[in-house]
Amino acid sequence: MPQLSFIYSNAPRWRLMRHLSFWLLWFLFQVLLYSASPSPALQQQSFWQRLMITWPDTLVYMLPSLFLSYMLMYLVIPKLVLPGRYFMATLSTIVLIALTAAISALLSVTVIGELRHRYAGSIYRDVAKLGDPPFYYKFGVAMLAGLRGSITVGGVAAAIKLMKCFYEEQQAALQLEKEKVNAELQMLKAQLHPHFLFNTLNNIYSFTQDVSDKASTMIMGLSQLLRYMLYECNKPLVPLDKELKMIRDYLALETARYDQGLETTLQMPKGSTNLLIAPLMLLPFIENAFKHGASQMTEHPWISLTLDIKDRELSMKLINGKPAGTGSAKPGIGIANVHKRLELLYPDAHELQINDEDEMYIVNLKLELMPMNIIAVKELNDEPV
């Protein structure tokens, strides 16, 4: 809807229109207000004369209003209010309001005086003959006037920003819920008669043990992989150790298909990691490495996977070769889904870079993972906390 786009969209065009409209309306409101209720110096002038005299003052006084509004919208609200740091948000707001009033008063006793001398010097000189108040009095009155206008527009701007933030959080929650429902539906489709599937695989495994060790090993690996996907991945988070084991099993299955013709370099963390990750977050990248890389190369296919953990950050670097002269591959559904999941589950805790070079694909992914505490372990095991 165009109305919602104008209010909530983050597209540069809509943001520019929204901000320009807001400040234009505020400027017109202030000009009309001061022209309709003039100061004693302008009471003898007509409305249109007052309008021409007050618009430069109003334009200058918008500077402290802009300062306060944007500091609230882009510093206090996103950095302090939304993360729940309310004490610092209150303290910062008080400091900003005081600073805004000081800026407004400083402009009043310097720039505004020069403007009035140029645009309406004779009018204000007549008033000045009645007596010029002390500097501290003028500065104090100017601070109070600056507080009145700046707090009003700053409050309106902050309210609009908060409304926009809450709307975006609501839309993200709705999108996450929609994705969750779709994922559960797909999981249900994949779980049709899983016992039949596993029993059949076990029977095939028993028949192939005496025929081919390689075939029986691959069937057992496939059975374990499917069991993990069907039974372990129905929770929002899984232990990283299990996810890494699943990746090793998947790589073993894929490598077996090439009959020692695939060169793989694998570096993965050793020992327990005590971290949690969203299930199947890394697998689509590795699947793509085989689909668009190794399987397309007739000679010397190769894949390099490096997984490293530093504190709570998981870094993955995946490089795979591709035939020379191959054009850029179009992103598939799997990678598109991973992009969506990263945006929903790790909105401010991931970095993803995919480079399509002439002879290789390079994927760099960084994820900030959740530590495995006692509560998380009990939830994963379906135990009451």
List the domain boundaries for the chain. Answer: 2-172, 261-380
- Give 220-246 pLDDT, tens digit per residue: 778 788 778 777 777 888 899 999 988
Q: How far apart are CA 228 and CA 226, in angstroms?
A: 5
Residues 281, 278: Cα–Cα separation, whole Å? 6
Strand-strand pairing, 302-310 and 238-239: unpaired
Look at 319 and 326; give whichever has higher pLDDT. Answer: 319
Percent of the chain with pLDDT over 70: 72
Give the lowest-confidence range in 137-151, 251-265, 269-283, 301-315.
137-151
pLDDT of residue 2: 47
pLDDT score for 351: 93
CA distance linking residue 228 with residue 230, whole number of Å: 6
- Whether the per-residue pLDDT at 338 is higher than 70: the answer is yes
Nearest 5 degrees, angle CA 123-CA 127-CA 132? 135
Q: Is the pLDDT of residue 130 over 50?
A: no
Confidence band (pLDDT; 50, 70, 90) for 322? confident
Res 343: pLDDT: 87
Q: Give the lowest-confidence range in 133-147, 283-297, 344-358.
A: 133-147
Q: What is the DSSP letter of 139?
A: H
Kindly report the number of other CB atoms within 10 A of residue 157's CB atom: 22
The number of beta carbons lying within 10 Å of the beta carbon of residue 54 is 24
SS3 228: helix
Contact (Cβ atoms closer than 8 angstroms) between residue 354 and residue 361? yes
Mean pLDDT rounded to a whole number for the chain: 77
Range with the poorest average pLDDT among 39-48, 50-59, 60-69, 225-234? 39-48
Identify the architecture of domain 261-380 in CATH. 2-Layer Sandwich (3.30)
Q: What's the pLDDT at 30?
A: 80
What pLDDT is recorded for position 276?
Answer: 92
Query: For position 384, what pLDDT does the model report?
Result: 34
% of residues, the chain, pLDDT over 90: 10
Highest mean predicted confidence (pLDDT) among 19-28, 114-123, 136-145, 251-260? 19-28
Judge contact between 277 and 243, C-beta under 8 A: yes
What pLDDT band is residue 4 in, cutting at 50, 70 and 90? Answer: low
